Amino acid sequence: MTGVTDRTDTAPEPADLTDPRAAERSAVVDLAAIRHNVRTLRTRVAPAALMAVVKADAYGHGMLPVATAALEAGADWLGVAHVSEALVLRRAGLDAPLLAWLHTPATDFAAAVEAGIDLGVSGWELEPIAAAAAAAGRTARVHLKIDTGLGRNGCTAEEWPVLVRAALDHEAAGRLRLVGVFSHLAVADEPVRPETDAQVAAFRAAVAIAEDAGARLEARHLANSPAILTRPDTHFDLVRAGVSLYGLSPLAGISSAELGLTPAMTLRAAIANVKHVPAGQGVSYGLRYRTGTASALALVPVGYADGVPRIATDAPVLIDGQRHTVAGRIAMDQFVVDLVDPVPSDPAALLGADAVLFGDPATGAPAVEEWADAAQTINYEVVTRIGSRVPRVYRNDGAAR
């Protein structure tokens, strides 16, 4: 297991479905799917290397188990937004190359340098990082970020030669190693748009300026998931895979299966109540839904406190092999499903049965994209916002078997 040490001492206790909390509600994460996606993406981008982006608790999937599985399957790097996230990975014993790119003046650069965390630098960070390295008698590892058009973080083209010069001066003095140059794309999920071409050209120009100034770069990186899947000319030395690592498609109208990816997360809960009701029964706050016929209502014990989007009325739910639809408003802790089309033969028998909100469509589960559409958002947001009250349950934890 490259890049993983002392895992048995540091891994969180995995929940399993016999744990009553996890039996009631869980986000089941299939680590075999994560490993499959890593292998698929690596093959696709070779000879470029793959960074597994595990920020935001691995988009809600659980940072340490996902990072471990990704490294087992051959991911070369880990990536996060914050140094605080990177430190959690290092403290868990993961020693793979690791980049953090979003900092403030309050960021603990000394701890990052001490822990061997590579740091993205857009400008102002260079001097405090060099100072932290000098104070510790260490060499910081830095990736300079050029803004090629996203207008978020990154150095402007105008300031770039000065930033490159300053970094190379610090490198000559032994305070840092200029490891990489990177940038982030704005519209790669819309392959017909022309701006990506301009961003690629601006990136090449920035890399050329750095190399002409004497930079010996190991990692030039630009591609996020949509660019990995649609733009081989963005792969360079390293790609940064986020949503695709989790088996989700970043491209509108193209499914996970069409991309050869397997969605890793299934969100399910045990049905908490089932009852027969007459036609015209109002359902949930506001009574925005009324049953059209005599039917049965199933109560699903997850709500917006668990990250289930409140506006996703009409989202699909799989119960006993049948797709049904959310009925009425989603509340803090629960929502209701009207068991019609078809009405089950014995609704009462469904008490305690699984209601599956989303998962891998290959298993019959609704796709997370159906929930994203119902909530007027994207698959990224739906999985990432699943809350801490929902236990994560890991399937196919290779290290444990």
Ligand X SMILES: *Cc1c(COP(=O)(O)O)cnc(C)c1O
Cis (ω within 30 of 0) for the bond into 47?
A: yes
Shortest reach from residue 117's CB to ligand X, in Å: 15
* Residue of the chain from 11, 96, 210, 241 that contacts ligand X (CB under 6 A): 241
How many C-beta atoms lie closer than 10 Å to residue 305's C-beta?
Answer: 14
Query: Tell me, what amino acid is at 24?
Result: E
Residue 250's φ and ψ, nearest 5 degrees, are -90, 0
Q: How far apart are CA 314 and CA 324, in angstroms?
A: 9
Shortest reach from residue 380's CB to ligand X, in Å: 6
* Residue of the chain from 68, 107, 148, 224 that contacts ligand X (CB under 6 A): 224
Contact 94, 67 (CB under 8 A): yes
Stretch that binds ligand X, among 103-111, 200-208, 240-248, 369-377 (CB under 6 A): 240-248
Report the DSSP pairing between strands 392-395 and 322-327.
Answer: unpaired
Inter-axis angle of helices 195-212 and 160-172, to 10 degrees? Answer: 40
Q: How far apart are CA 387 and CA 397, in angstroms?
A: 22
289 binds ligand X (CB under 6 A): no
Token pair of 330, please? 């989603």
For ligand X, the closer of residues 100 and 308 by Cβ is: 100
Stretch that binds ligand X, among 19-27, 239-247, 332-340, 356-364 (CB under 6 A): 239-247
Stretch that binds ligand X, among 65-73, 129-137, 159-167, 237-245 (CB under 6 A): 237-245
Shortest reach from residue 305's CB to ligand X, in Å: 25
250 binds ligand X (CB under 6 A): yes
175 binds ligand X (CB under 6 A): no
Shortest reach from residue 292's CB to ligand X, in Å: 41
243 binds ligand X (CB under 6 A): yes
Closest-approach residue to ligand X (CB): 242
Question: Is residue 275 annotated as part of the catalytic site, yes or no?
Answer: no
Q: Which residues contact 117 (CB under 8 A, 6 or more apart)?
A: 83, 86, 87, 90, 98, 99, 100, 141
Shortest reach from residue 273's CB to ligand X, in Å: 38
**Of 55, 59, 246, 380, which is the active-site residue?**
55
Stretch that binds ligand X, among 7-15, 243-251, 290-298, 304-312 (CB under 6 A): 243-251
* Residue of the chain from 240, 268, 324, 329 that contacts ligand X (CB under 6 A): 240
Shortest reach from residue 53's CB to ligand X, in Å: 4
Contact 317, 326 (CB under 8 A): yes
**Which 90-129 residues touch ligand X, going by CB under 6 A?**
101
Question: Is residue 246 annotated as part of the catalytic site, yes or no?
Answer: no
53 binds ligand X (CB under 6 A): yes
Stretch that binds ligand X, among 19-27, 165-173, 235-243, 332-340 (CB under 6 A): 235-243
Report the DSSP pairing between strands 140-145 and 176-182.
Answer: parallel
How many C-beta atoms lie closer than 10 Å to residue 232's C-beta?
Answer: 12
Shortest reach from residue 200's CB to ligand X, in Å: 15
**Burial grade of 165 (CB within 10 A; 0-12, 13-18, 19 or more):** middle
Report the Cα 112 to chain-centroid distance in Å: 22
Strand partners, 252: none
How many C-beta atoms lie closer than 10 Å to residue 311's C-beta?
Answer: 13
For ligand X, the closer of residues 51 and 337 by Cβ is: 51
Q: How far apart are CA 353 and CA 340, in angstroms?
A: 16
Q: How far apart are CA 139 and CA 175, in angstroms?
A: 5
Contact residues: ligand X, CB under 6 A? 53, 55, 101, 184, 224-225, 240-244, 250
Active site positions, annotated: 55, 285
